[in-house]
């Protein structure tokens, strides 16, 4: 199906930040755009916002002044909804209120041509319900742009229960022609991105409630070690703690209080105290004038051991080996003695460890260090967290077993510091910080595929281009090993005794079969 022809008129109903931004995108693609808003003065303010944004591009020499004039000439004001009659595509971008959206779509249906497409930019409301109020629900779909619309590449193209396949195809092609990265998904609470992203915030909030570490340290681990553009608390402050709270509640309620989507009390406490994030001056961080930015906790410099032994294969952390070999510490390698009693399939997913004179350093598998040391015995156990790239990571989180002496932790810190890695010591929490977050993101992604919300490629694309994740969650899980990811989730579920961490049936099936999400 071809994209909407440039000769076709696009209408945008709602001239706020999102509506004005969408109008700019359509006009930049060559369409004549009608911008409508029922609020007096809103269209003029919307056009002014577009003009001011484009003027800044001219100042930065990223756009020519004459091109701005051409683009702005394509965006015309519509004073009455009847003036949208000639539009081939109408994109609604009004407030997130179901009754208001239904009323607008009913009015639009009475005005536009029978073959015109009606799309909603809603970020959370049901496309099926919006369309259900119309005589022809088959022409209604979601076209969810991310803010700011002219910059963010992701567009979720959302099918309601009755949306025609031809409508979806046209919107997918049109979004691509407009320079966007469209992802096809089904109408479901949170759609795709906001549904899959829940654990990024949720696991951080749980860790804070449990005292795993402080806010700047947790953010530093997710940012510097796991490679996310921003830490979860930084992102909550940017988005607005109240906005995220509302989305979390909406998804939780829509899924009949499924514990996977449970909100966390501390977020409500923040809102009650007026700490909403950047917009209120205070959130998890203090943005007021003169406020100092808190630094993450970093372990003091410690003496490294004279030698260390790599036992077996470190699996996802294998890149640590050559990095450690470049230090002044004498490194030798031996086979994994624990593998002697295991079959070939188990051996393939058994990660080794780094042994020092006083410590055993191993990648977390979702259990606490205390539990693992109690069952395995041996040297004082220190666990390290997941990193996106162990060959280059500037930071790693460590957690020691309760039975381990402090000098064992210091020696392990010294080894990693010798390799140029800053160490953040956190409490002995199951799954630590980065690992539990990535495992849960992969789990939610697999569940979205299992539920038919989107395909694996669409999920990974959405989280990378829409949420700036360093790697698609499903591709990341495959790189770690699906059996390992399931093991982490099972250990979290057993430790907490909660259904929150139940592994997706599809993830478990792929792990059992040795299959892939991408082929």
Q: What is the CATH classification number for the domain harbouring 144?
A: 3.40.50.720
Residues 175, 201 within the same domain = no
Strands 353-355 and 359-363: antiparallel
Single out the residue in 391, 425, 459 at which a domain terminates: 425
Average pLDDT, 10 consecutive residues per value, the chain (519 residues): 94 97 98 97 96 96 96 96 97 94 97 97 93 95 95 97 97 98 94 94 97 98 98 96 90 90 93 95 96 96 96 94 94 73 47 94 97 90 98 98 94 97 98 98 98 97 96 98 97 96 98 92
Instruction: Tell me, yes or no, if 307 is annotated catalytic.
Output: no
Determine, yes or no, domain membership for 447: no
Owning domain of residue 106: 10-187
Residues 38, 148 within the same domain = yes
Determine, yes or no, domain membership for 220: yes
Return the residue matching tokens 């449970």. 262
Instruction: Tell me, yes or no, if 121 is annotated catalytic.
Output: no
DSSP tag of 274: T
Q: pLDDT for 455-494, tens place per residue?
A: 999 999 999 999 999 999 999 999 999 999 999 999 999 9
- CA–CA dist 191, 80 (Å, integer): 31
CATH at 216: 1.10.1040.50
Determine, yes or no, domain membership for 470: no
Residues 26, 140 within the same domain = yes
Residues 275, 321 within the same domain = no
Residues 337, 275 within the same domain = no
Residues 35, 143 within the same domain = yes
Single out the residue in 168, 187, 206 at which a domain terminates: 187
- CA–CA dist 423, 444 (Å, integer): 29
Determine, yes or no, domain membership for 221: yes
Decide: 178 and 25 in contact? Cβ < 8 Å.
yes
The pLDDT of residue 348: 44
CA 448 to chain CA mean position, Å: 13
Decide: 284 and 233 in contact? Cβ < 8 Å.
yes
Determine, yes or no, domain membership for 227: yes
Residues 316, 269 within the same domain = no
Q: Which residue in the list 120, 121, 123, 126 is annotated as catalytic?
A: 123
Q: Which residue in the list 121, 126, 194, 280 is annotated as catalytic?
A: 194
Decide: 285 and 293 in contact? Cβ < 8 Å.
yes
Single out the residue in 399, 425, 451 at which a domain terminates: 425
- CA–CA dist 345, 352 (Å, integer): 15
User: Per the omega criterion (within 30 degrees of 0), is the bond before 404 cis?
Assistant: no
112, exposed or middle or buried, with CB in 10 Å at 0-12, 13-18, 19+?
buried
- CA–CA dist 329, 417 (Å, integer): 11
The closest alpha carbon to 385, from 400, 402, 405, belongs to 400
Residues 246, 205 within the same domain = yes
- Strand blocks (E) in 297-392: 307-311, 330-334, 353-355, 359-363, 380-384
- Quote the number of domains for the chain: 3
Determine, yes or no, domain membership for 271: yes
Residues 78, 173 within the same domain = yes
Decide: 307 and 331 in contact? Cβ < 8 Å.
yes
Residues 69, 139 within the same domain = yes
Instruction: Tell me, yes or no, if 478 is annotated catalytic.
Output: no
Determine, yes or no, domain membership for 448: no
300, exposed or middle or buried, with CB in 10 Å at 0-12, 13-18, 19+?
exposed
Residues 170, 209 within the same domain = no
Q: Which residue in the list 109, 120, 144, 203 is annotated as catalytic?
A: 144
Determine, yes or no, domain membership for 479: no
The pLDDT of residue 254: 87
Residues 331, 268 within the same domain = no
Instruction: Tell me, yes or no, if 144 is annotated catalytic.
Output: yes
The pLDDT of residue 337: 61
Query: Other CB atoms closer than 10 Å to residue 492's CB: what's the count?
Result: 25
Please spell the DSSP secondary structure of 238-249, one letter per residue.
Answer: HH-HHHHHHHHH
Strands 395-400 and 422-425: parallel
The pLDDT of residue 124: 82
At residue 351, what are phi and psi to the nearest 5 degrees?
A: -90, 145
Q: Which residue in the list 92, 109, 121, 156 is annotated as catalytic?
A: 156
Beta-carbon-side half-sphere exposure of residue 177 (alpha carbons within 13 Å): 17
The pLDDT of residue 346: 46
């Amino acid at each position: 199906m071809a994209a909407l022809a440039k000769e076709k008129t696009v209408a945008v109903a709602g001239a706020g930040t999102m509506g004005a931004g969408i109008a700019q995108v359509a006009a930049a693609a060559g369409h004549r755009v009608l911008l409508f808003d029922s609020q007096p003065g809103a269209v003029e303010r919307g056009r002014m916002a577009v003009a001011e944004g484009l003027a800044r591009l001219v100042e930065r020499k990223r756009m020519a002044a004459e091109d701005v004039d051409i683009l702005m000439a394509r965006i015309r004001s519509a004073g009455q909804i009847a003036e949208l009659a000639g539009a081939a595509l109408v994109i609604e971008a009004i407030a997130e209120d179901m009754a208001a959206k239904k009323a607008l779509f009913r009015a639009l249906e009475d005005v536009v041509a029978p073959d015109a497409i009606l799309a909603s930019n809603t970020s959370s409301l049901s496309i099926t319900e919006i369309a259900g109020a119309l005589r022809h629900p088959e022409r209604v779909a979601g076209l969810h742009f991310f803010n700011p619309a002219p910059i963010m590449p992701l567009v979720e193209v959302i099918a309601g229960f009755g949306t025609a396949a031809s409508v979806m195809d046209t919107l997918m092609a049109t979004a691509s022609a407009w320079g966007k990265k469209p992802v096809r998904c089904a109408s479901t609470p949170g759609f795709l991105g906001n549904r899959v992203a829940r654990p990024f915030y949720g696991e951080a909030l749980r860790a804070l409630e449990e005292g795993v570490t402080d806010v700047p340290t947790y953010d530093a681990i997710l940012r510097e070690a796991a490679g996310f553009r921003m830490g979860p608390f930084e992102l909550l402050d940017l988005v607005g703690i109240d906005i995220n709270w509302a989305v979390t509640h909406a998804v939780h309620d829509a899924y009949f209080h499924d514990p996977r989507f449970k909100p966390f009390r501390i977020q409500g406490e923040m809102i009650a105290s007026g700490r909403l994030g950047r917009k209120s001056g205070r959130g998890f961080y203090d943005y007021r004038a003169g406020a100092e930015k808190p630094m993450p906790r970093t372990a003091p410099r410690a003496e490294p051991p004279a030698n260390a032994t790599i036992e077996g294969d470190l699996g996802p952390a294998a890149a640590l080996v050559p990095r450690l070999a470049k230090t002044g510490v004498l490194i030798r390698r031996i086979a994994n003695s624990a593998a002697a009693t295991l079959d070939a399939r188990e051996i393939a997913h058994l990660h080794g460890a780094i042994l020092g004179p006083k410590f055993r350093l191993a990648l977390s598998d979702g259990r606490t260090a205390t539990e693992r040391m109690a069952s395995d015995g041996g040297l004082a156990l220190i666990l390290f967290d997941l990193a996106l790239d162990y060959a280059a990571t500037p930071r790693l989180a460590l957690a020691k077993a309760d039975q381990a002496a402090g000098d064992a932790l210091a020696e392990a810190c010294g080894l990693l510091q010798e390799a140029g890695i800053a160490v953040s010591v956190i409490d002995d929490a199951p799954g630590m910080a980065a690992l539990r977050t990535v495992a849960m993101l992969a789990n939610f992604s697999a569940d979205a595929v299992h539920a038919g919300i989107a395909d694996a490629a669409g999920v990974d694309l959405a989280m990378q281009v829409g949420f700036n994740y360093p790697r698609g969650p499903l591709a990341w899980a495959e790189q770690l090993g699906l059996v390992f990811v399931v093991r982490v989730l099972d250990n979290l579920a057993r430790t907490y005794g909660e259904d929150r961490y139940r592994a997706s049936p599809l993830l478990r099936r792929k792990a059992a079969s040795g299959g892939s999400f991408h082929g």
